[in-house]
A = this chain, B = another copy of it.
Amino acid sequence: MAATNKKIVLRNHVTGFPKESDMELVAATGAAPSRVPEGTDGAVLVKNLYLSCDPYMRGRMSSHDGSYVDAFVVGEAITGYGVGKVVDSSHPGFKAGDLVWGMTGWEEYSLIKDPSRALFAIRHPDLPLSYYTGLLGMAGFTAYVGFHEICAPREGERVYVSAASGAVGQLVGQFAKLMGCYVVGSAGSDDKVRLLREKFGFDDAFNYKKESDLSAALKRCFPEGIDIYFENVGGAMLDAVLLNMRVRGRVAACGMISQYNLEHPDPVHNLTAIVTKRLRIEGFIVSDHYARYREYEEKAARYVKEGKIAYVEDVAEGLENAPAALIGLFSGRNVGKQVVVVAREQISK
């Protein structure tokens, strides 16, 4: 029974809120792959261990051109970030046994044809490998680049993070605290708010679902206004933030998860604040910055080892639970970084 190659495929492109039934588990027949096919040069066969559920994946489930990343192909395995172990390699830069993270498939085994572009070698296998789906991988580096590069923070500035207990938000808040900023986060449950305050060291936090007036909540937390907003949410939250920004404030637009499942995006009214307060709002994508990833990996690994960074994962067991885990992001069901375990690997080091 064991080793075929199970995969999660997209059944159809999605409009509106995605459902589990938009994806399905498919078990390929025959034995599990164990070699890179004959004649396929420069490829690696990876056994997937952990998969990452990320909000940007919603865009790939749509058929339309989002000019961001390509749409998933109906009938093929969903692709995303993950952690794996090289089983076989015809690429000189990789060998069997290597631990890697990067773009892989939602399946037990993936053949990666351009591994030097798609994969990074894991340099800290002594840390939990799943961290490379988040803290030590794409989400962590997103938080780092977004905060330090796009927000251009200064010590003592007032920082607001939405979706603050998520994979990126929890790290942005902690990077901002490490820089000596005043940090407030919002999340969608009292438990998450408690995490922000007690685990991640935010100065203040609120449950946005319990606030009838988001602008008033922000005014309460930031009586003198917000210097930096790390935007994960969009829509009404962005509108409220614009009213509360300080002159020369900066907004790093990392994501707008509240908008991804809407056919008609929510209106935002307060954009004249961009002019009157000389705001800068800047979108970014982490892959534009990967040249500096190794610098981040070392810094983040050191932070973890020194106990300077706390990190919370929400772990779903088994590939078959990946669709539900992904969809849970959009209702905020996950607490912390959403990971899917495909296989646990004994690391001998």
Residues of chain A touching chain B, judged by Cβ–Cβ distance below 8 Å, are 59, 66-68, 234, 238, 247, 253-256, 259-260, 264-285, 288
A234:B268 contact, CB within 8 angstroms: no
Is A270 within 8 A of B265, CB to CB?
Answer: yes
B271 pairs with A265, CB closer than 8 A:
yes
Asked if B256 and A265 make an inter-chain contact with CB atoms under 8 angstroms apart, the answer reads: no
Query: Given A67-B247, A247-B67 in contact, is the A272-B277 Cβ separation under 8 Å?
Result: no
Query: How many copies, total?
Result: 2
Q: Which residue of B lies closest to A288 (CB)?
A: B278
Which chain B residue shows the least CB distance to A284? B278
Q: Which residue of B lies closest to A65 (CB)?
A: B276
A280 touches which of B254, B275, B278, B282 (Cβ 8 Å): B282
Report Cα–Cα, A148/B271, bound state, in Å: 23
**In the complex the two chains form, is A278's CB within 8 Å of B267's CB?**
no
Chain B residues whose C-beta falls within 8 Å of the C-beta of A275 in the assembled complex: 68, 234, 253-256, 283
Question: Is the Cβ of A68 less than 8 Å from the Cβ of B276?
Answer: yes
Whole-angstrom distance from the CB of A224 to the nearest CB of chain B? 12
Chief secondary structure at chain A's binding surface: loop
Q: Which residues of B contact A267 (CB under 8 A)?
A: 267-269
Q: What are 28 A-B contacts with C-beta separation under 8 Å?
A: A59-B276, A67-B247, A67-B276, A68-B275, A68-B276, A234-B275, A238-B271, A253-B274, A253-B279, A256-B271, A256-B272, A259-B271, A259-B272, A264-B269, A267-B267, A267-B268, A268-B269, A268-B271, A274-B281, A275-B283, A278-B282, A278-B283, A278-B285, A279-B283, A280-B280, A280-B281, A280-B283, A281-B281
Contacts of A260 in B (CB 8 A): 272
Which of chain B's residues have a CB closer than 8 A to the CB of A265? Answer: 269-272
Distance from A274 Cβ to chain B, minimum over Cβ atoms (Å) = 4
Chain B: minimal CB distance from A339 (Å): 23
Smallest beta-carbon distance A47→chain B, Å:
33
Tell me, in angstroms, the Cα distance from A272 to B277 when the chains sit together.
21
The chain B residue with its CB closest to the CB of A254 is B275
Q: Which of chain B's residues has its CB closest to A264's CB?
A: B269
Chain B residues near A254 (CB-CB < 8 A): 275
Give chain B residues whose Cβ lies under 8 Å from the Cβ of A271.
234, 238, 256, 259, 265, 268
Identify the 4 closest CB pairs spanning chains A and B, nearest first: A267-B267, A68-B276, A274-B283, A280-B282
Chain B residues contacting A283 (CB-CB under 8 Å) are: 273-280
Given A265-B270, A269-B267, A271-B268, are A67 and B281 also a contact pair (CB < 8 Å)? no
Chain B residues lying within 8 Å of A234, measured Cβ to Cβ, are: 271-272, 275
Min C-beta distance of A13 to chain B, whole Å: 17
| Neighbouring B residues of A277 by C-beta, 8 Å | 67-68, 283
- Chain B residue numbers with a CB within 8 Å of A238 are 271
Residues of B near A266 (CB, < 8 A) are: 269
C-alpha spacing A67/B247, complex, angstroms: 8
Give the distance in Å from the alpha carbon of A265 to the alpha carbon of B274 in the complex. 13
